[in-house]
Amino acid sequence: MFARKKVSAIASLPDRRCGRSSPTGLALVFAVLAGLIAACAAPDAPDSSGAPNSAGGMPGGVPQFEPVDGWFQMPEGFEWGQVIGLFADARGHVWTSSGSRIGEWDTEGNLVQSWSAAGPEGNWSTIHGLFVDHNDFVWTNARESQMTLKFTRDGEHVMTLGRIDETGGSNDPTLMGRPAEIWVDPEDNEVFIADGYGNRRVIVFDGESGEYLRHWGAYGEQPDDDYEWDPMSEEPSRQFQTAHGIFGSRDGLIYLADRANNRIQVFRQSGEYVMEKVVRPLCPPEGEPVPDCGGSATFSVGFSPDEAQTWLYVADGGSHVILVLRRSDLEVVDEFGGPGVGPGELGRPHNLSIDPQGNMFVAEAAGPMVVDAAGDSVQAGFRAQKFAVQGADGS
């Protein structure tokens, strides 16, 4: 069944710009200039939640971030593996998935608890993606076991979507196909899953009963597992290629990171297509290289915490940077990071999440080989980092 849900239209986003005029009198010139200076210098009013303004602590500008070296307080004997799940919850606690274990870290970076998500027999494979919902349930995927899992906050398993080691293709209503990430709508408890390593879809279930509700593919169309796209074509792929990151906005939209297509696609919660953005051109398999091209440029997505969620953040795991987009038109306005093992450098940024104050947390999987400060060749990645938004409390 290929179903849709009706939702309200998109809420428009504000356009905040400082204007200019062309007066004829000198006095009027001075008066207008004085008014413009005052208007442009005035900071945005903070929202009622106490989060920073839409510029992430820099009124009128693009959010800026600084790495917080050593924020995660590592217990004795603790070592990161690939970090392939990460989420900052409503309390400001950060959850990580590494080596099939789920960790909860408090607001000071201390490890509060750690528990296995590998199942009673230890055979639920590749614990991938994380989300803590409005009822404090922890969601993740056993990707290679073809399941999405729901736990209590202290690790009690309460629900499985899919069946272990079974898959049925992108139009099967009950079986998963190597699911990647999850988002749960706090309004109606619907669970949106980027079911994208094996399948080519977003699939939606009821978060309480586990009942299947609907699914869709790229452009809101029915997914087609037999579709083959020519990478030399000038036309975009009509199917997802690794539907990976997923997150919903306050105005009822779903943002899907279509990883291997280097694009973000936006939908209404019904599955109706709204718009897309290719954040980086794909490098052609042959012929002349394309400037600034890359691969696997859209791993994970998140929003600034202001009421309008003005900024969209994207983990570009292929180029090892974080992209900053203006959410209203998906224009890329900034990027930071770059391959390396130093503070603020990145190795295959795989997941990102934003805490209530606007700080960013990034999970790194297996990154590229780089040269460290000592001149040694080392592999980047295998860690998580905090990036403090400038001007936010606690930065």
**What share of the chain in percent tops pLDDT 90?**
81
With a cut of 70, say whether residue 38 has pLDDT above it: no
**Average pLDDT over all residues of the chain:** 87
Mean pLDDT lowest for which of 17-21, 77-81, 374-378?
A: 17-21
Q: pLDDT-derived band of residue 59, with 50, 70 and 90 as boundaries? A: very low
pLDDT for the residue numbered 60: 54
Mean pLDDT lowest for which of 22-31, 51-60, 110-119, 329-338?
A: 22-31
CB 192 within 8 A of CB 204: yes
Q: Which amino acid is at 331?
A: E
Residues 6 or more apart from 322 whose CB is under 8 A from it? 65, 313, 314, 315, 316, 335, 336, 337, 346, 349, 352, 360, 362, 387
pLDDT for the residue numbered 2: 45
Q: In what order do the strands lie in the sheet with 212-216?
A: 181-184, 190-195, 201-206, 212-216
Q: pLDDT-derived band of residue 285, with 50, 70 and 90 as boundaries? A: confident
pLDDT for the residue numbered 373: 95
Residue recorded with tokens 């272990």: 164
Which CATH code for domain 61-389? Answer: 2.120.10.30
Residue recorded with tokens 């179903």: 3
| Residues facing 384 on adjacent strands | 363
Task: Convert the pLDDT of each residue in 178-232 to its tens digit.
Answer: 999 999 999 999 999 999 999 999 999 999 999 999 999 999 999 999 999 998 8
Q: pLDDT-derived band of residue 97, with 50, 70 and 90 as boundaries? A: very high
Going by C-alpha positions, the residue among 311, 305, 314 that lies closest to residue 352 is: 314
**Domain parsing of the chain, residue ranges:** 61-389
pLDDT for the residue numbered 6: 35
Q: pLDDT-derived band of residue 69, with 50, 70 and 90 as boundaries? A: very high
Predicted structure pTM score: 0.86
Task: Convert the pLDDT of each residue in 330-344 to its tens digit.
Answer: 999 999 999 999 999
pLDDT for the residue numbered 374: 97
pLDDT for the residue numbered 11: 37
- DSSP structure class, residue 12: P
pLDDT for the residue numbered 61: 85
| DSSP annotation string for 115-147 | EE-S-TTS----EEEEEE-TTS-EEEEEGGGTE
CB 216 within 8 A of CB 2: yes
With a cut of 60, say whether residue 357 has pLDDT above it: yes
Task: Convert the pLDDT of each residue in 130-184 to its tens digit.
Answer: 999 999 999 999 999 999 999 999 999 999 999 999 999 999 999 999 999 999 9
